[in-house]
Structure 1
Amino acid sequence: MWANPVRSAQFAIASAQDCAIVTECVLDPCAMLDPTDLRILYQLRPAEPGDFPFAEALTHGNMGGYYKRHGLVWRSDLFYASWRESENFILEADGERIGVLRVTEEGDSLHIRDVQIAAGHRGQGAGTYMLDMSHRWARARGLHELQLRVFVDNPAARLYQRMGYRVTGPRLAQLGSIRHMVRPV
């Protein structure tokens, strides 16, 4: 007997309730599939304590230029505090860690705190995959919207717009350098 087809397809899940959402849109949970028939692209798994250094290094490396351009200073202590408050996931391709997704539930919204992808893996659907999984989780939890923040000069904003996010205005005190974006579930 083959393993759970969702796991075989490398659509990792954080809980049993997430399984229903993944299978609803991707696979028949009762199907008996040969995993070799499936093209495995990404696995999104819950982060483990040993993933923190990777996540911080990737996030700092990806965001450092934006911080510098907008007069901000990276603070590892704040990233760590945020890490402890978030649901954190690691994106893998062929067993290699290539990305980080961090979310928090805030009222009736799922706040996407980070979508980080390693250089060399961008533009290949990884960001779309993580955003789609976030949307599915929000729907499964009965939330009404997803929200995120993005620097005004970050090209990822185009992906967010293609996926239905709309700018709702400047956020925080960085004189409009960060945009707040939302989309309904």
Structure 2
Amino acid sequence: MRVHTLSGLRDVGESRPRRCVQIAIASVPRCAIVTACVNNSRAMLDPTDLRLVFQLRPAEPGDFPFAEALTHGNMGGYYKRHGLVWRGDLFYASWCESENFILEADGERIGMLRITEEGDSLHIRDVQIAAGHRGKGAGTYLLETSHRWAKARGLSELQLRVFVDNPAARLYLRMGYRVSGPRLAQLGSIRRMVRPV
């Protein structure tokens, strides 16, 4: 684990320098950074900061059944409506190729994020939130985290795919994603959306 300390930083109106510690977490692939800032030797926490509500950790082998059940449960209706068949073997193959993360709140698994790097783009393969935890900022948190990671990796865009009738597309639009390219007819009614980093 590497720890880098930056000192002497100031925000406008601060009388004393701020010390920030950035920690590159070894278990998170390619440069995920956690920043803790201390003003006047006391931690300044923002109660509206979603990072205080949610914890995102790398997935472990035992998380796969949770991730598959959550994804199938959330996406099964879309697959059926668009004439697609859910295949657990394909989900597992995709899982093995992705960087996978589990979202927790108060120690409970409530969601997951799956990403892959594709050229100069970070592909968000899955953002899944459990029923009962939607509409509380979890999806926004995962998208913002993905954006920070893409920036830290020096990538130029984020991309994702969404069924045309999935209400999550409204969140993606609010977060700066735009429809790019034609619908992929061979996969059903799916739109590709991109956002610059």
Partner of 2:129: 117
- Gapped regions of structure 1 (runs ≥ 5): 8-12
Root-mean-square deviation (Å): 2.6
Taking only the aligned residue pairs, the percentage that are identical comes to 77
Give me the whole-angstrom Cα distance separating, in 1, the residues matched to 2:186 and 2:81: 11
Residues 117/33 of structure 1: CA separation in 2 closer, same or farther (3 Å cut) = same
- Gapped regions of structure 2 (runs ≥ 5): 1-19
Using the size of structure 1 for normalisation, the TM-score is 0.84
Residues 176/56 of structure 1: CA separation in 2 closer, same or farther (3 Å cut) = closer
The residue correspondences of 1:16-165 to structure 2 (distance < 5 A) are: 17-19=31-33, 22-23=34-35, 27-28=36-37, 33=43, 40-165=52-177
Contact 2:103 2:111 in 1 (8 A): yes
Q: Which amino acid aligns with 1:75?
A: R
Using the size of structure 2 for normalisation, the TM-score is 0.79
Structure with greater strand share of residues = 2
CA offset digits 1:76-113 (Å, max 9, x no partner):
00000000000000000000000010000000000000
Contact 2:110 2:130 in 1 (8 A): yes
How much does 1:169 deviate?
Answer: 2.9
Contact 2:121 2:159 in 1 (8 A): yes
Structure with greater helix share of residues = 1
Contact 2:84 2:187 in 1 (8 A): no
How much does 1:170 deviate?
Answer: 3.1
Q: Which amino acid aligns with 1:123?
A: G
State the structure with more CA Rg. Answer: 2
More contact order relative to length (CA 8 Å, sep ≥ 6): 1
